[in-house]
C-alpha cells in the first residue's frame, strides 16, 4: 500500500484542515482508507492571499519562460518516477484498474512535459504597424487561478489545469473531489518538492479538498481568484459560469456528455465490437466521453447486438488491483445506487435489459460498489435514459435507417462532447464527423488523447478549451504595447 496522505496543502504548508471530515473509501472493499479534514472557507482565503503574494515574489514573477519550463520538466520527471505510487493511490481511491491508473499518471507526466515544450517555443507577436510606431502583443499571468476537478480521473485532470497555469506564471488553488483527494495530494507533494528544489515559493500551489458546496464555492467567489477551470457536471458548471459572469472573470468548463458511437453496416465487426465495449465499459463507464449511446445500422443491428451482448456478458468484473479485471467497481456506493436507479428508470420506460442490469452476486462483491456491465435497447432516443448522463457501465443501443436519420438522432441531445464512428468508408467517416455536433470525433478508435490536441465540448458539454499549445494562453491576459518612432509632436502639443 502506498503512503496515504493525512494532511492537506494550504499555502505551501502541510497540515490538518479546519473544515469538514472527508472519508476516503476503497470502493472495491468498502473499507475506509483514511479520514482527512478538508479545508474551510477561511483556509481558502488564506491560500488565495498567500498565492497572490507568491505571484508577486520576484523569484517567481521575474522567472523567464524557459526557466519555468525547467520547473515543469522537473515536475514531469518526479511524476513519472512516482507513477506506481500515484497509480496505487488512485486505484485505492477510485476503484479503477492499475493498468488505467498507471496510464493516467504517465499521462499527467506527459502533460507537464508537453506544456514545458510549448512554453519554450511560445512567441510574442509584433503586429503590423499602421503608423509611426511599433506595436506588439504580450501575454501576462492572471495571478491566482482556481482549478476544480472531478473524481473520475483526478491526476490527469489536475495536470491539465496545473501545468498550463504554472507555465503562464500563475499560482493555483486546486480543489479535488471530496471522494478522491488522495492522488491530488500526492501530486501536490511532488510539485511542492520541485518548487523547493528551484527555490520558489511553495504557496504557488494549494490542494484544498472538500465539498463543492463549501470549498468549491469559496474558491470561485474569492476576489483574488482571477480565473476558474472546472471539470464536472453540467449543473455545477452552470452555477460556476453564473458566478464567473457576475465577477467578470474567465472560466473554462469541461462538462457532461451523452456521446454517440456509430457502427455503419460496412464497419469491421471485430474492431467495432472491441471499440464500442472499450468506449463505454472502460473506467466502468465513469467518463464524460463514454460512448453511452450506440447507433447501429438497422441491417446489421440484430447480428451486432447478439455478438456484443455475448461479449459484454463475459467481461471480468472485480477489484482494480486484480490484473484480470476489465470492469472495476464504481467510485462510491452512493454513485452505484444512482446508476442502478437509472437502470430501473430504463425498465420503467420500456427498455429491454439484454445483459447486466444488476449488482453482481457473490461474496467477493458484497462489500464493494460493483455493478454489472449493462446493455439496453428498445428505447427511443427521446427517453430520459437516452438523454441523461448516467456515468456508469450502461450502454443504450438504437438502430438507424439512413445517414440523415442517424445524424438527427445523434445530435438530438443537450450534449456535444464526443463521438465515435466505425466504418471502412473514409468518405462517409469524414462526412459524418463534420455533421455530428461534438468537440472530439474518433474514427475507428475511441478514447485516445494527446496533450497536443485541443479538447472542448459543444452545447451543454462545456465552454472553452483545454490541452494543446494554446492552453497556456488561456491562463494569461493579453496586453498591447505601442512604441512611438516619430520625433514629431502629437496633436495639441505646445
Indicate if 196 belongs to the active site.
no
Nearest CA among 159, 165, 400 for reference residue 263: 400
User: Which of 96, 288, 355, 386 is the catalytic position?
Assistant: 288
Indicate if 49 belongs to the active site.
no
How far apart are the C-alpha atoms of 412 and 277, rounded to whole Å? Answer: 23
Indicate if 355 belongs to the active site.
no
In this structure, what C-alpha cell is assigned to residue 97?
484498474
- Which long-range contacts does 301-310 make (Cβ < 8 Å, 24+ apart)? 301/397, 301/399, 304/263, 304/269, 304/272, 304/273, 305/354, 305/375, 305/377, 305/397, 307/269, 307/273, 308/273, 308/276, 308/277, 308/375, 308/397, 309/354, 309/355, 309/375
How far apart are the C-alpha atoms of 305 and 273, rounded to whole Å? Answer: 9
How far apart are the C-alpha atoms of 90 and 391, rounded to whole Å? Answer: 18
How far apart are the C-alpha atoms of 204 and 61, rounded to whole Å? Answer: 11
How far apart are the C-alpha atoms of 493 and 92, rounded to whole Å? Answer: 72
DSSP code per residue over 341-381: HHHHHHHHTT-EEEE--SPPPSGGGTTS-----EEEES--T
How far apart are the C-alpha atoms of 201 and 57, rounded to whole Å? Answer: 8
User: Which of 43, 46, 96, 161 is the catalytic position?
Assistant: 161
Indicate if 270 belongs to the active site.
no
How far apart are the C-alpha atoms of 380 and 466, rounded to whole Å? Answer: 33
User: Which of 43, 46, 100, 254 is the catalytic position?
Assistant: 254
How far apart are the C-alpha atoms of 62 and 293, rounded to whole Å? Answer: 50
Task: List, by residue number, the catalytic residues.
Answer: 161, 254, 288, 466
Amino acid at each position: 500500500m502506498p503512503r496515504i496522505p493525512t494532511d492537506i496543502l494550504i499555502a505551501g504548508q502541510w497540515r490538518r484542515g479546519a473544515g469538514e471530515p472527508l472519508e476516503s473509501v476503497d470502493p472495491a472493499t468498502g473499507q475506509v482508507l483514511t479520514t482527512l479534514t478538508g479545508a474551510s472557507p477561511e483556509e481558502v482565503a488564506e491560500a488565495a492571499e498567500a498565492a497572490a503574494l507568491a505571484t508577486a515574489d520576484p523569484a517567481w514573477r521575474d522567472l523567464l519562460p524557459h526557466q519555468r519550463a525547467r520547473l515543469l520538466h522537473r515536475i514531469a520527471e518526479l511524476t513519472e518516477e512516482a507513477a506506481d505510487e500515484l497509480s496505487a493511490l488512485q486505484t485505492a481511491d477510485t476503484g479503477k484498474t492499475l493498468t488505467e491508473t498507471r496510464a493516467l499518471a504517465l499521462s499527467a507526466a506527459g502533460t507537464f512535459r508537453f506544456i514545458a515544450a510549448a512554453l519554450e517555443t511560445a512567441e510574442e507577436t509584433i503586429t503590423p504597424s499602421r503608423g509611426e510606431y511599433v506595436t506588439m502583443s504580450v501575454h501576462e499571468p492572471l495571478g491566482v487561478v482556481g482549478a476544480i476537478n472531478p473524481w473520475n480521473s483526478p491526476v490527469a485532470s489536475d495536470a491539465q489545469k496545473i501545468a498550463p497555469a504554472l507555465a503562464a506564471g500563475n499560482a493555483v488553488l486546486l480543489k479535488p473531489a471530496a471522494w478522491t483527494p488522495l492522488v491530488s495530494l500526492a501530486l501536490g507533494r511532488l510539485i511542492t518538492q520541485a518548487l523547493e528544489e528551484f527555490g520558489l515559493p511553495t504557496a504557488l500551489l494549494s490542494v484544498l479538498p472538500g465539498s463543492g458546496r463549501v470549498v468549491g464555492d469559496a474558491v470561485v467567489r474569492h476576489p483574488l481568484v482571477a480565473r476558474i477551470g472546472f471539470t464536472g457536471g453540467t449543473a455545477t458548471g452552470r452555477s460556476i459560469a453564473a458566478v464567473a459572469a457576475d465577477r467578470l472573470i474567465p472560466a473554462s468548463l469541461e462538462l457532461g456528455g451523452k456521446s454517440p458511437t456509430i457502427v455503419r453496416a460496412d464497419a469491421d465487426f471485430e474492431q467495432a465490437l472491441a471499440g464500442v465495449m472499450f468506449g463505454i465499459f472502460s473506467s466502468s463507464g465513469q467518463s464524460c466521453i463514454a460512448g453511452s449511446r450506440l447507433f447501429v445500422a438497422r441491417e446489421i443491428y440484430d447480428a451486432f447486438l447478439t455478438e456484443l451482448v455475448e461479449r459484454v456478458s463475459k467481461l471480468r468484473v472485480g477489484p482494480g488491483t486484480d490484473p484480470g479485471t476489465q470492469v472495476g467497481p464504481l467510485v462510491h456506493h452512493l454513485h452505484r445506487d444512482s446508476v442502478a436507479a437509472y437502470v430501473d428508470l430504463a425498465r420503467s420506460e420500456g427498455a429491454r435489459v439484454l445483459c447486466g442490469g444488476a449488482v453482481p452476486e457473490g461474496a467477493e462483491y458484497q462489500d464493494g460498489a460493483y455493478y454489472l456491465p449493462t446493455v439496453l435497447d428498445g428505447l427511443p432516443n427521446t427517453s430520459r435514459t437516452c438523454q441523461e448522463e448516467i456515468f456508469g457501465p450502461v450502454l443504450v443501443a438504437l438502430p438507424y435507417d439512413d445517414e440523415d436519420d442517424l445524424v438527427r438522432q445523434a445530435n438530438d441531445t443537450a450534449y456535444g462532447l464526443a463521438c465515435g464512428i466505425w466504418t471502412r468508408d473514409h468518405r462517409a467517416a469524414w462526412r459524418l464527423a463534420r455533421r455530428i455536433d461534438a468537440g472530439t470525433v474518433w474514427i475507428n478508435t475511441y478514447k485516445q488523447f494527446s496533450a497536443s490536441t485541443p479538447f472542448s465540448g459543444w452545447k451543454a458539454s462545456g465552454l472553452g478549451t483545454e490541452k494543446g499549445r494554446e492552453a497556456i494562453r488561456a491562463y494569461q491576459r493579453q496586453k498591447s504595447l505601442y512604441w512611438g518612432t516619430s520625433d514629431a509632436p502629437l496633436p495639441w502639443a505646445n
